[in-house]
Amino acid sequence: MITEQVWIVDDDSSIRWVLEKAFSNANISTASFENANNLLIALDHAQPEVIISDIRMPEIDGMELLNRINAQYPELPVIIMTAHSDLDSAVNAYQGGAFEYLPKPFDIDDALTLAKRALAHAKEQRAQRKQQDDDKSSVGIIGAAPAMQEVFRAIGRLSRSSISVLINGESGTGKELVAHALHSHSPRAKAPFIPLNMAAIPKDLIESELFGHEKGAFTGANSVRQGRFEQAHNGTLFLDEIGDMPLDIQTRLLRVLADGQFYRVGGHSPIQVDVRIIAATHQNLQELVEKGDFREDLFHRLNVIKVHLPSLKERREDIEQLANHFLKSAADELNVEAKTLHKSALSFLENYQWPGNVRQLENTCRFLTVMASGQEIFIEDLPPELKESPASTQVEGSWQSALESWVDQQLQGGNEDILSGTIPDIERLMLKRALHFTQGHKQEAAKKLGWGRNTLTRKLKELDLQ
């Protein structure tokens, strides 16, 4: 692979030689090509920071090379060496972005200055790209599962718009995190993001919380207060648990969305706002509409774009990464070394039902960081509410994984000969259920289990089920 910073392409070997010498004296590494085709082949494997190309070359000339590079690597700076007489026609023939040109015959210092400028530009662009990547990852949404990738794609696709979005997902699945990401990747990123949870505010305070109030509007309103709508001007208002919004407030909200203006409680002059609404709910809004608890017109207004967040148990493949992430951030908060999960504990977490979703996993990791005795976390370190969870909160149909965790536990507890006690337990359990199903009819039960009649009789005796 070619790793030089500047690639030179010219069919004239003396020009290549002069440039190579000048750059090497300035500590800039170069690679040279005698035709554009060889350079294009090399580009499949590596990229320089700058390309310097002659304009007149047999087969692929400088302008065609420039066009091709621009189509595939639009950010790669290209310097075209050309005589003044060729420049106009070259520019006219070129339909792409920008390029620099080096008039021939050139002064070697000019060539160096130009190349250095292009190198500095390339460096700056790299730094910018890195910053953008860092910004993106600082949003900190973890999700390799396909359903989460779908969410990321939606964030990307919506990044140029201020359209209303309705996020649906169980509590703790990351709805606010996604709403924030939608905001910070939107044209409103520099204006405020104001979250408000409808379920957390007493009903009679929702109106003044949203729209503010004038002094003396009601008892206790001792001064003028800005509402969330005003605070979110030019930005985004995130209305969490929108299904809990009282009907009269829904009507007011609808009016603001239609007119872009509202009155503070007790106020007489309208206040103009430009606010993007992102709403979220764990409920089925369509059902609320059918029951008459949610206004249909508001539902349609908010439901322009739908984003669904999967529950944690629907994306178990992310549990390991999320847990490690939360263990690390809990450790950072406490200024201690991050703990690690033993395979058995991880497998338990991966098979747990997580009714509280990502938030519950986050809290569990905090608990473990403080409470687990060693550096490595085992099943016995897990919080009691996880271990003692009733069978209904374990994964349906996955008795194997429950058994797996149980075996791990036995092994860690130092127990031996665990198989000889377990197999009869399983047989006893299956036999009992089969007899229950056939209402005590032994021959039928034997058939259901796939045993012969003699085996069944023997097993009944062996297993003390007589």
Site residues, ligand ATP (CB under 6 A): 140-143, 169, 171-177, 240, 282, 358-359, 362
Which of 143/227 has CB closer to ligand ATP? 143
Among residues 202 and 440, whose Cβ is nearest to ligand ATP? 202
**Which residue, 82 or 236, has its beta carbon nearer to ligand ATP?**
236
Q: How far is the CB of 250 from ligand ATP (least distance, A)?
A: 19
Burial (CB count within 10 angstroms: exposed 0-12, middle 13-18, buried 19+), residue 204:
exposed
Q: Which is nearer to ligand ATP, 62 or 172 (CB)?
A: 172
In angstroms, give the least distance from the CB of 342 to ligand ATP.
23
Minimum CB–partner distance for residue 341 and ligand ATP (Å): 17
Nearer to ligand ATP, 230 or 240 (CB): 240
Which residues pair with residue 394 across a beta bridge? 352
Closer to ligand ATP at the Cβ: 119 or 147? Answer: 147
State the nearest-atom distance from the C-beta of 303 to ligand ATP, in Å: 18
Q: How many CB atoms lie within 10 A of CB 182?
A: 28
Between CA 355 and CA 106 the distance in angstroms is: 72
DSSP structure class, residue 220: T
Nearer to ligand ATP, 359 or 448 (CB): 359
Which residue of this chain has its Cβ atom nearest to ligand ATP in the complex?
174
Q: Which residues contact 202 (CB under 8 A, 6 or more apart)?
A: none
**In the complex, what is the shortest distance from the CB of residue 291 to ligand ATP, in angstroms, rounded to a whole number?**
21
Q: Which is nearer to ligand ATP, 363 or 457 (CB)?
A: 363
Q: Minimal distance in Å, beta carbon 350 to ligand ATP?
A: 16
Contact 86, 42 (CB under 8 A): no
Write 365-372 long-range contacts (CB < 8 A, 24+): 365/323, 365/326, 365/327, 365/330, 366/326, 366/330, 368/327, 368/330, 368/339, 369/327, 369/330, 369/331, 369/334, 369/336, 369/338, 369/339, 370/330, 370/334, 372/339
- In sequence order, the 6+-apart residues with CB closer than 8 A to the CB of 165 are 158, 179, 182, 278, 279, 304, 305, 306, 307
**How is residue 182 written in tokens?**
């939608």
Helix, coil or strand: residue 441:
coil
Closest separation in Å from C-beta 158 to ligand ATP = 17
To ligand ATP, the closest distance from the beta carbon of 323 in angstroms equals: 11
Which of 141, 224 has the CB closer to ligand ATP?
141
Question: How many CA atoms within 13 Å lie on the side-chain side of 8?
Answer: 25
Name residue 389's amino acid: S
What are the CB-based long-range contacts (under 8 Å, 24+) for 14-21? 15/54, 15/81, 18/108, 19/52, 19/111
| CA Rg value for the chain | 34
Q: Which of 354, 421, 430, 378 is nearest to 399 (CA)?
A: 430
Please answer whether residues 411 and 357 qualify as being in contact, where contact means their C-beta atoms are separated by less than 8 angstroms: no
